[in-house]
Amino acid sequence: MSALSEGLTQIVIPLASLVGIGFALLQWFLVSRVKLLSQDSSNGYKQKLIESDEEEEGINNLEISIKCTEIQHAISVGATSFLFTEYKYLGIFMCVFGAIIFLFLGSVKGFSTKSEPCTYSQGNTCKPALANAFFSTIAFLLGALTSVLSGYLGMKIATYANARTTLEARKGVGKAFITAFRSGAVMGFLLAANGLLVLYASINLFKLYYGDDWEGLYESITGYGLGGSSMALFGRVGGGIYTKAADVGADLVGKVERNIPEDDPRNPAVIADNVGDNVGDIAGMGSDLFGSYAESSCAALFVASISSFGISHEFTAMSYPLLISSMGIVVCLITTLFATDLFEIKKVSDIEPSLKRQLLISTVLMTAGIAVVSFFALPSEFTLFNFGTEKAVKNWHLFFCVAIGLWAGLIIGYTTEYYTSNAYSPVQDVADACRTGAATNVIFGLALGYKSVIIPIFAIAIAIYVSFSLAAMYGIAVAALGMLSTIATGLAIDAYGPISDNAGGIAEMAGMSHKIRERTDALDAAGNTTAAIGKGFAIGSAALVSLALFGAYVSRAGIKTVDVLTPKAFIGLIVGAMLPYWFSAMTMKSVGSAALKMVEEVRRQFNTIPGLMEGRVKPDYANCVKISTDASLREMIPPGALVMLTPLIVGTLFGVETLAGVLAGALVSGVQVAISASNTGGAWDNAKKYIEAGVSEHAKSLGPKGSECHKAAVIGDTIGDPLKDTSGPSLNILIKLMAVESLVFAPFFAAHGGFLFKFI
């Protein structure tokens, strides 16, 4: 028996969620104290930002404040309208795919309403397959709605905070950092707390029907992970195409051809570029990490339900994944105070160490938190399902499984930072390669990306070996959960980047002084590295999550072993390994074709609008926003269809063994491609920023802005944009989503799949 009673468990989990939501609201309140009197001038009011008297710059305060507000409003309106349009399409998809889930799973037993013998609890009867179909569909819709809400709330707080961060930069870099970081924390804590609360509520509501049938209950809950990840895929791909089409168009024409600064208000694509930061990097990342969290929880819960926890109905032990997440919220809350209240940022060089400190503090504190949860929530000894056999496990085994996932995440984060931060030699070498033009810059950048895969893969491999040896597939599932246990801090660090980037754009467009722009650039450069760290976490956790889901799928489909020497499995393996390349080709080409239209439009405006280069007239921002919106909504459908349809087609036509091969192949190849793409793009971006900042003597020798070296760096950056913000981050969703979809549809594939091989 667990030391923690069921009644106390039922209180602790929702309480931790509510604490997380309360802390997020407190951070939002503190950000809102940089007051914004937002009232519509058409109704007789004025919009202005009011600041305190502590600011350093005192020139045209009101005029600059009004400009900042107007720009913020334009970015917010653009981001909101894009997301609402995207969500209309996704609403249709949710309904159609929900119907597919119900029809496929309902047909397993011919839509029978009779109770069935349990698959794993021998001698017991379980609820009918039709109930599983219905509740899996409900769980899918709940996961999808929570994912959409996570992305939307993140976008709203980011567009709320960007101008406030700009204003605070006038008082010093420390004030601006705190505003941007607190805003990121709002998103991180809302997402972590909402994800946990909705999952906990779903389990308790489903239990009203399922009663003692925990096998059926937790099988249907896997739909929650499928809903979260399917929305994340479209959010990531759609948002990524939007932001990179605008970014590439703005950079190629503005910086390279016209030699004007980044975020210059004369550039027609500048508003679309800043909107893109919010819909791609914020809303997309929010949905993505929510999907990872939901899937790792669902995989762990499903494996536990067919182990001794589920069979003997030990609710506290079953809820171990949820208790880990609850502890994570409390740990991240304490960690956040170190950045906002306990350590003050006094100079630019303090920013990156402060963000790195967040990762280390949260990991150390969470290790202690895991020990507490493992000791109180788990019996001292129990058995776990291990592909048809039972594995005897002790509670300290699970502590090591979660802890190794957590520390593997830290290693991946620090490795990513080493390869993408311009404080270290890899990025400085890439910047140095710009001396001889764009070609050598590209060669060095690609080499860096490939090399950056080595340490993360070893970290993931060790985590897999140790956790599987200790606790079979359940160990891998909780290792993934360990990596994601500090998701609130990870997201706060990640969201901080785009908020700082927007703040710099607003400072440039509002005509603020060079000193302010230097501060926002310093915040943005650190944010670029943290964004790369966030992507590293997302990819690393995706590898563990998809392996845990793969194990759950193999168990549910009744496969004893996956033998790669059989032709059925091997053809799946080789096709699965190809899928990340096919998917990347689609997303890269989508960004390329959208960027082509954007470049042509920006050139047209510069060539045909008199007085635009001189700054006498405003460009047509709306047309560029429309190009990005139309392209992203149109182009996100084919890659999404590839990912969603592959498991259905392979499972139905070729059967469960071939599908197992496809999942294994996609996992092995997708992780490598995703890490190298993300890190290559991040390194090129920071190599460009290294030259622009000109802090060291080496950087000064490569600059200044507008030099041939700088132009070569900008070309590298634009090539890397779709790699690091579209293809790379979307690939981790591909490997997770195919695995969780296969798990949800496993009963159908096991009963009716592979009919093509029946005729051969």
Q: What secondary structure does DSSP assign to 516-560, as a single string?
A: HHHHHHHHHHHHHHHHHHHHHHHHHHHHHHHHHHHHHHHHHTT-S
Q: List pLDDT tens digits, range 705-747.
A: 888 999 999 999 999 988 988 898 889 889 999 999 999 999 8
Whether 333 contacts 358, CB under 8 Å? no
What is the average pLDDT value for the chain, to the nearest integer?
88
Give the three-state DSSP class for 382.
strand
- Give, in order, the Cα–Cα distances in Å from 616 to each of 59, 68, 514, 731: 21, 19, 21, 44
| 734 vs 511, residue with greater confidence | 734
pLDDT value at 543 more than 50: yes
d(CA 35, CA 725): 32
Q: List pLDDT tens digits, range 366-380.
A: 999 999 999 999 888
354, two tokens:
């402060």
pLDDT value at 653 more than 80: yes
188, two tokens:
């991180």
The least confident of 52-66, 103-117, 259-273, 621-635 is 52-66
pTM over 0.85: yes
Q: List pLDDT tens digits, range 416-439.
A: 889 988 889 999 999 999 999 999
The least confident of 218-222, 228-232, 388-392, 543-547 is 388-392
Q: What is the mean pLDDT of the segment spanning 183-196?
A: 93
Position 51 scores a pLDDT of: 39
Position 725 scores a pLDDT of: 85
d(CA 429, CA 312): 59
Q: What are the extents of the domains in the chain? A: 6-35+61-757
pLDDT value at 274 more than 50: yes
Give the three-state DSSP class for 128.
coil
The least confident of 179-188, 278-287, 331-340, 598-607 is 278-287
50, two tokens:
């009011």
pLDDT value at 285 more than 80: yes
The per-residue DSSP string of 495-528 comes to: HHHHHHHHHHHHHHHTT--HHHHHHHHHHHHHHH
Q: What is the mean pLDDT of the segment spanning 523-552?
A: 83
pLDDT value at 552 more than 60: yes
Q: What is the mean pLDDT of the segment spanning 687-707?
A: 86
